[in-house]
Amino acid sequence: MKIDHVAIWTSSLEKMKDYYINFLNGRRNEKYFNPLTLFESYFISFESGSRLELMSKPGIPENLNDPVDKQYLGIIHLSFEVETMEMVEAKARELSDEGFKILRGPRKTGDGYYEFETLDPDGNRLEVMTKYVENQ
């Protein structure tokens, strides 16, 4: 079994679509729009086969979580894997140069990863990571 997709409500559908395409190498499908409910969405597909569904609809309330200082029960971040530590560092520089805050890292974790944490345009927490082996 595998996870097919994760869905995110957003009030900035086009901005979020552009972020995941431009910075995380996603590919989008054609926008879906339901004129009766005003629901619209994109599926963003990634090389691994996983997908992200970005959804928008009037009347969806704002999220009360604070992804920077306080974390609550539930899904807290999405993680994107790259091949090398250099690619982690390059992505952190690229996002920082584009004005996206780097919350932590790049850093080595105690469980064998090299990662940094950031936020997408809606404030959803993301990790960009790779596995590493010491002395290789």
Q: Could you tell me if 48 and 87 lie in one domain?
A: no
Q: Could you tell me if 52 and 93 lie in one domain?
A: no
Split into its structural domains, the chain has a count of 2
pLDDT tens, position by position, 82-125: 999 999 999 999 999 999 999 999 999 999 999 999 999 999 99
> Is 84 contained in some domain?
yes
CATH number at residue 127: 3.10.180.10
pLDDT tens, position by position, 8-28: 999 999 999 999 999 999 999
Q: Which residues pair with 44 in a beta bridge?
A: 28, 52
Which residue segment(s) compose the domain that 50 sits in?
Answer: 5-56
> Is 112 contained in some domain?
yes
pTM of the entire predicted model: 0.89
Instruction: Give DSSP secondary structure letters for 59-81.
Output: TPPPP---TTT---SS--EEEEE
Cα 132 from chain centre: 21
Q: How many helices (H) and strands (E) does the chain have?
A: 2, 9
